[in-house]
């Protein structure tokens, strides 16, 4: 799940076709919603059985994961371009990733997140992304 990043930027979007490394799928069966996002995080980060299936619990467990990092890390996620995306849930997940990156930075830990998928089709235009600018505005 964690690999060494090549450059420093907190969160970037990349076209899905550029994905050439393993990535955590954020969608399942053509859908992306809160339940599926939390299941993806649970599986990718081996959350314990007592995981509360909510954003706060995911945040706490991801911070535990960050605290265990001993070198710069790159987390890769993917979204199939044809998936039906709940934009509010994706925005919540994105905020979660921003908060985790902010925490990592406060601990002087380099953490980058790459998301592979058609950002505009996934409804993230409202998050400050454009086709011309893959980094958060």
| Per-residue model confidence (pLDDT) at position 81 | 87
Measured at the CA of 79, the angle between CA 77 and CA 82, to 5 degrees, comes to 170
Average pLDDT over residues 26-35: 97
HEC profile of 57-110: HHHHHHHHHHHCCCCCEEEEEECCCCCEECHHHHHHHHHHHHHHHHHHHHCCCC
Mean pLDDT of the chain: 86
Q: How confident is the model at residue 1 (pLDDT cuts 50, 70, 90)?
A: low
Architecture of the domain whose range is 2-127: 2-Layer Sandwich (3.30)
CB atoms inside a 10 Å sphere around CB 101: 21
- pLDDT tens digits for range 94-124: 999 999 999 999 999 999 999 999 865 555 5
Counted residue by residue, the chain has a size of 137
- pLDDT tens digits for range 40-71: 999 999 999 999 999 999 999 999 999 999 99
Percentage of the chain beyond pLDDT 90 is 75
């Amino acid at each position: 799940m964690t690999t060494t990043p090549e450059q420093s930027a907190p969160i970037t979007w990349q076209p899905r076709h550029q994905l050439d490394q393993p990535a955590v799928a954020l969608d399942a069966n053509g859908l992306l919603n809160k339940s599926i996002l939390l299941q993806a995080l649970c599986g990718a980060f081996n959350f314990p059985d007592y995981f509360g299936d909510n954003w706060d619990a995911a945040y706490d467990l991801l911070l535990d994961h960050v605290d265990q990092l001993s070198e710069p890390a790159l987390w890769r996620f993917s979204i199939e371009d044809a998936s039906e995306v709940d934009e509010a849930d994706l925005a919540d997940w994105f905020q979660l990733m921003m908060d985790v990156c902010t925490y990592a930075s406060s601990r002087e830990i380099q953490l980058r997140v790459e998301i592979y998928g058609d950002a505009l089709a996934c409804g993230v235009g409202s998050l400050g992304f454009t086709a011309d600018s893959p980094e958060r505005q």
